């Protein structure tokens, strides 16, 4: 965990974070600014809720991502992540994140690393972090994952980058 934390500077001033809005299913920014619409439902795909995350964590373009709560249960899976992980959001929600992703960093001090980062992000106490993960039951495939807080309500956002 210490090693992973060292990958990013820890002196990020959380108050200066720029928040970005995106749909929890298609990842697109909302059609209307949040103030103009009372609904949290995405106007593009109609199948996701609009969430917010720090700009350096929020998914860019069609990056796949998952939203995980503080009990490490999957709460949302983007359409791209559904394709990538071969799952369906309807079947993935309420399942443990380890059913889908596991740490892939051989040098990481413990397998619980990823889970600790997620719990910290979901509780809002951690800064945006990165970790290396792989799909469960798959070897030789690795993703650099950006992990940070998102919401509302408070949760962890895990964006799978290259």
Question: 12, 93, 141, 161: which one contacts another protein (CB under 8 A)?
Answer: 93
Of 22, 64, 14, 60, nearest to 151 by C-alpha is 22
Least separation in angstroms between CB 151 and another protein = 8
Pick between residue 25 and residue 80 the one whose CB is nearest to another protein: 25
Near another protein by CB under 8 A, which window of 14-22, 70-78, 105-113, 134-142? 70-78
The yes or no reply on residue 155 touching another protein (CB under 8 A) is: yes
Near another protein by CB under 8 A, which window of 41-49, 52-60, 97-105, 134-142? 41-49
The yes or no reply on residue 15 touching another protein (CB under 8 A) is: no
Question: 7, 47, 141, 161: which one contacts another protein (CB under 8 A)?
Answer: 47
Pick between residue 71 and residue 138 the one whose CB is nearest to another protein: 71
Question: 4, 22, 24, 81: which one contacts another protein (CB under 8 A)?
Answer: 24
Name residues whose C-beta falls within 8 Å of residue 151's C-beta, 6 or more positions apart in sequence: 51, 52, 53
Name residues whose C-beta falls within 8 Å of residue 105's C-beta, 6 or more positions apart in sequence: 4, 113, 131, 132
Name the burial class of residue 69, with classes exposed (0-12), middle (13-18) and buried (19+) by CB atoms within 10 angstroms of its CB. buried
Least separation in angstroms between CB 54 and another protein = 16
The yes or no reply on residue 71 touching another protein (CB under 8 A) is: no
Q: Which residues bind another protein (CB under 8 A)?
A: 24-25, 38-41, 46-49, 51, 67, 69, 75-77, 89-90, 92-94, 151, 153, 155
């Amino acid at each position: 965990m210490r090693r992973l934390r060292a990958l990013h500077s820890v002196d990020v001033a959380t108050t200066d974070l720029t928040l970005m809005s995106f749909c929890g299913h298609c990842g697109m920014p909302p059609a209307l600014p949040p103030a103009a619409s009372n609904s949290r439902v995405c106007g593009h795909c109609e199948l996701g809720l609009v969430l917010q995350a720090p700009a350096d964590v929020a998914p860019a373009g069609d990056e796949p991502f998952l939203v995980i709560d503080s009990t490490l249960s999957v709460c949302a899976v983007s359409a791209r992540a559904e394709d990538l992980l071969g799952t369906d959001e309807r079947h993935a929600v309420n399942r443990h994140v380890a059913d889908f992703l596991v740490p892939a960093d051989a040098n990481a001090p413990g397998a619980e690393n990823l889970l600790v980062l997620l719990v910290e992000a979901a509780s809002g106490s951690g800064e945006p972090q990165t970790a290396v993960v792989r799909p469960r039951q798959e070897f030789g495939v690795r993703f650099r994952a950006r992990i940070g807080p998102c919401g509302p309500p408070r949760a962890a956002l895990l964006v799978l980058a290259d």
